[in-house]
Amino acid sequence: MAAIIASVAERGDAALEEHVARFDRRDGEPAQPLVVADAELDAAVAGLSAELRAALELAIANVGAVAAATTSADRDVQLPQGQLVRVREVPVRRAAIYVPGGRAPYPSTVVMGVVSARAAGVDEVVVCSPSDDPVLWAACRLAGADRVHRMGGAHAVAALVHGTETIAPVDVLVGPGNLWVQEAKRQLSGRVGIDGFAGPSDLLVLADAGADPQLVALDLAAQGEHGDGSLVVLVTDDRSLADEVARRLEAGVGGGPGSAETGAAYAAVVVDGPRTGLALAEAFAPEHLELVGATIEPLAPEVRSAGCLFVGASGATAFGDYVVGSNHTLPTDGAARFASTLSARTFRRTMCEVHVGPAADALAEAGAAIADAEGFVVHAASMRARQNRNR
């Protein structure tokens, strides 16, 4: 890993091309430019069915509306001594969205990342992916990506962070990926902003006896489609619901395989009531949390530790993966205790703009007293030198 990152940092495009040929291209596949041409992106859009294009455009509109709601305007704080501190929220200049290849293309990940960055006001948004799928390229075009790079893996992360002759360095890099990608992001997080370390997906459904076992089983099985390492958990105070859901999962629901064949881990926990279930959910801090049932749904305002919360029988987590407007790039592995969903705020940073003015007279002595106590005599002198200059 470190050798791959170092080689790209030191040799730029030459090293990057070597790694792309080794890791991203199939045997015998001809070399292609690192940057996907505009003509390819336009052709991908033109090749979409009307139904799929409408679906992508709906997802883009909904994700954009929710993302825009996470930004804040500048706020002025007028303090008693007379100084003004303006709290500003500003977008980064360049951001990259990493989209995995692997078993399938993920145009939904393009939508979640690119649309959020656009809502944040980022100047330039790029996408990188080892996938050559036309639907993914079409999603890049429709969502408003400025450039698309045909690459993946740790070498792609290194190129986006350090920059090469072809790849410009970015300020923020987000998106899921395999362990190589996640570890490269972690190692380079001191040079670039990242969204976090994305582990296997998880879902916890907290339900009572009124929940429909078929809907619960479908939601758990749907999340299990993410494959090996995914964790899906039912917490309920009704043992018969737990037994019935387990039976349906074992048999397979929604056209999917039985639970033993998916590679996902399934667990059911029977508790003595809704509040015990809520306490368990809060301790688990799931990526996705569903509250289902008349005794469970009123607990929604008390939830603090969940990546995304879905309330009610109609609130399938799958909606959040695609079109409802919330983002599907979420904290995993219990990180929902302290981390947030991907949003426009991920691509923005907060800074203060300070106007001291006449308040220097009142602030200098207090500030200098603290500086003197810390032994920073020039700090103290710098503040005292501002006294009586505004009269």
- 207 and 189 in one domain? no
Among this protein's residues, is 261 annotated catalytic? no
Mean pLDDT computed over 371-378: 97
- 316 and 361 in one domain? no
In eight-state DSSP terms, residue 26 is P
Q: How many domains does the chain have?
A: 3
- 36 and 179 in one domain? yes
Count Cα neighbours of 23 within 13 Å in the Cβ-side half-sphere: 22
The binding site consists of 201, 223, 226, 288, 321, 374, 379
- 287 and 369 in one domain? no
pLDDT tens digits, 214-262: 999 999 999 999 878 899 999 999 999 999 999 999 999 999 988 878 8
Domain boundary among 138, 164, 196: 196
- 60 and 173 in one domain? yes
Which residues have a Cβ under 8 Å from the Cβ of 100 and sit 6 or more positions away? 106, 109, 129, 130, 131, 152, 175, 176, 177, 178, 181
Among this protein's residues, is 183 annotated catalytic? no
Handedness of CA 121, 156, 195, 324 (dihedral sign): positive
**Residue from 149, 162, 287, 297 carrying the catalytic annotation:** 287
Residue 323 sits in a domain of what CATH number? 3.40.50.1980
What distance in Å separates the CA atoms of residue 120 and residue 62, rounded to the nearest whole number? 15
- Three-state secondary structure call for residue 135: helix
pLDDT tens digits, 332-357: 999 999 999 999 999 999 999 999 99
What distance in Å separates the CA atoms of residue 23 and residue 21, rounded to the nearest whole number? 6
**Residue from 162, 288, 297, 328 carrying the catalytic annotation:** 288
Domain boundary among 174, 196, 218: 196
Mean pLDDT computed over 36-45: 97
**Residue 29: its pLDDT value, please?**
78
The binding site for Zn(2+) consists of 223, 226, 321, 379
Query: Which of 67-71, 100-104, 209-213, 237-241 shows the lowest mean pLDDT across its residues?
Result: 100-104
Domain boundary among 145, 162, 196: 196
- 233 and 147 in one domain? no
pLDDT tens digits, 288-312: 999 999 999 999 999 999 999 999 9
The binding site for substrate consists of 201, 223, 226, 288, 321, 374, 379
Domain of residue 166: give its range: 2-196
- 145 and 37 in one domain? yes
What distance in Å separates the CA atoms of residue 140 and residue 372, rounded to the nearest whole number? 56
Provide the pairing of β-strand 193-194 with 265-270: unpaired
> With 60 as the cut, is the pLDDT of residue 391 above it?
no
- 303 and 161 in one domain? no
Which two three-digit tokens encode residue 150? Answer: 């045909």
Q: For the whole model, what pTM was predicted?
A: 0.93
- 180 and 87 in one domain? yes
